[in-house]
Amino acid sequence: MRGIWDPDEGRYTNVALNMLDSGDWTNPMRNEHTGHWTKPPMTYWLIAGSVKVFGQSPWGARLPIALSYLACALLSALCARRLVPGGAKLAAVAYATMLMPFFAGQLVTTDFPLAAFQALTMYAFVEGRFGPARRHWPWLLLMWAALAAGFMTKGPPALVPLLVICTMNLLAPGRPVRWPWHLLGIALFLALALPWYLTVVQRHPGLLQYFLGAELVDRVASDRFGRNGEWYGWLKVYVPTLLLGTLPWSADLWRWLRGLPGRIGEWRDPATRREQAPALLIALWIVLPILVFGIARSRLPLYLLPIFVPLALAVAAQRVESGRGMPRWQWIAIWVLMLLALRLAASGLPSHKDASGWADAIRSRTHGPVREVVFVEDMARYGLRLHLGAEIEKLSLLPDSSQPRFNPDFDEPLAREVADTQKEPGIIFITKSGLWPVVSRAIDAQGYDTRILGTPYYERIIFEVVPRKKSPVATDEE
């Protein structure tokens, strides 16, 4: 029911639709001029494939995210079957009803596909380690394949489960697997994860330096992207995420956390670690990613989404060990109804970020087809790509000489786009009301007139650029 909201949902949907329409599934583009290199293409592929099959609608764009949510609930149950005997259904219910996963399950971002691939990685490890003592190598290969899919979704952050797995094997070694199978797994990872990176780096000189510098080093070691990089940023972002995002199971997690120091003391003994290996794995699966994302200086609530699977396992373990088991179904039903009511209410909230509202506002003000919508010195509503079928650009009032080569803030200078209006009709311009005098003067200086379309929408002026009418020239007879 809810339209695509910008900036995040709009950006991912826009790039996916550009891939689908252009047939170029290799280069993620936010429009025909500018690439979008912040993430690998897996999420774009999933969205584009879904829209191709189910139609160009918010429902089609969100389906891969919703399926990722359901996959994580299922994988919670499958992992609990091995790690928390008797707690499989409880783990699935806990995951599905936690506040954070429930609401993130309708947000078009890379975070839920990444969470699903990381959960699949850990499930493959759990089956190989704690499952029946038969063949372990198929699970090992599945683990590496899922890691590769995660790497194609969000790059290096997808490798955090590898830290958990290596630490687990160091502290409590399991059944040995012959080294050729490990080499084959690594080869499978490289074969699945690297071809796209090698292709785009070869085609776009300097892209490797951008990936390593801006998208890896700067996100970890600096606050370049303005994402809560202060020393206390982890407190500001992750503590509320864990306290509120785990509702209504926060009390169970608090009880689990209170008992963790005592268990850590017991785990100093190698024999106890091996005996309590399932509990040790759940603890490592929660604590190590929190430490990694707490140290990194780029911090957002959704970064913690992958650890909600082990959090659900911790809830199940706590309730099974205490003998409380599954809560009464009436309380679960009431909570689910409340969640659905909140989601329904949120779908009707008016917002300047809702691209469907922008699409309606533009349609009501224009009479011909809209081929392109450009935002002048304003946040681009890339969700219009889905709701209006138009190309979206973001323009600068200044020349673009200082723009970075990869992921620039602006696509073009205003002067260049104005000059293109004669060759490419159907262009709609939008700018903030406060900037309108400056923008209109800049267009007037190029010899063009502006035509305002209707009243302002969310304090934005919607307008067209038209050729200036020539004044009639007086003749000698006159």
Q: pLDDT value at position 472?
A: 60
- Residue 477: is its pLDDT beyond 60? no
Containing 218, the helix (H) or strand (E) segment is none
Residue that wins the pLDDT comparison between 81 and 477: 81
pLDDT in tens, 242-255: 999 999 999 999 99
Instruction: Give the burial string for 296-321 (b: 16+ CB within 10 Å, else e).
Output: bbbbbbbbbbbbbbbbbbbbbbbbbe
Token pair listed for 243? 């306290």
When pLDDT is averaged across residues 254-269 and rounded to a whole number, the result is 95
Q: pLDDT value at position 473?
A: 56
Q: Report the mean per-residue pLDDT for the chain.
A: 93
Residue that wins the pLDDT comparison between 205 and 176: 205
Q: pLDDT value at position 1?
A: 84
124 Cβ contact partners less than 8 Å away, ≥ 6 residues apart: 139, 140, 142, 143, 146
Could you tell me the pLDDT band of residue 476, with boundaries at 50, 70 and 90?
low
pLDDT in tens, 135-169: 788 999 999 999 999 999 999 999 999 999 999 99
Could you tell me the pLDDT band of residue 475, with boundaries at 50, 70 and 90?
low
- Residue 98: is its pLDDT beyond 90? yes
DSSP assignment string, 279-299: HHHHHHHHHHHHHHHHHSS--
- Cα separation, 102 vs 197, in Å, equals 32
Is there a contact between 466 and 450 (Cβ–Cβ < 8 Å)? yes
Question: Roughly what angle, to the nearest 10 degrees, separates helices 42-54 and 58-83?
Answer: 120
Residue 273 buriedness (CB in 10 A; 0-12 / 13-18 / 19+): middle
Could you tell me the pLDDT band of residue 367, with boundaries at 50, 70 and 90?
confident
- Cα separation, 226 vs 211, in Å, equals 18
pLDDT in tens, 424-470: 788 999 999 999 999 999 999 999 999 999 999 999 999 999 988 77
Q: pLDDT value at position 73?
A: 98
Residue 198's identity, in one-letter code, is L
pLDDT in tens, 197-229: 999 999 999 999 999 998 888 888 887 777 888
Could you tell me the pLDDT band of residue 105, with boundaries at 50, 70 and 90?
very high
The pTM (predicted TM-score) of the whole model is 0.94
Count of CB atoms situated within 10 Å of the CB of 477: 4
When pLDDT is averaged across residues 398-404 and rounded to a whole number, the result is 74
The region of weakest confidence among 23-27, 218-222, 333-337, 341-345 is 218-222
Q: pLDDT value at position 468?
A: 81
List phi, psi (to 5°) of 272. -65, -40
CA angle 474, 476, 478 (to 5 degrees): 60
Token pair listed for 156? 């290096």
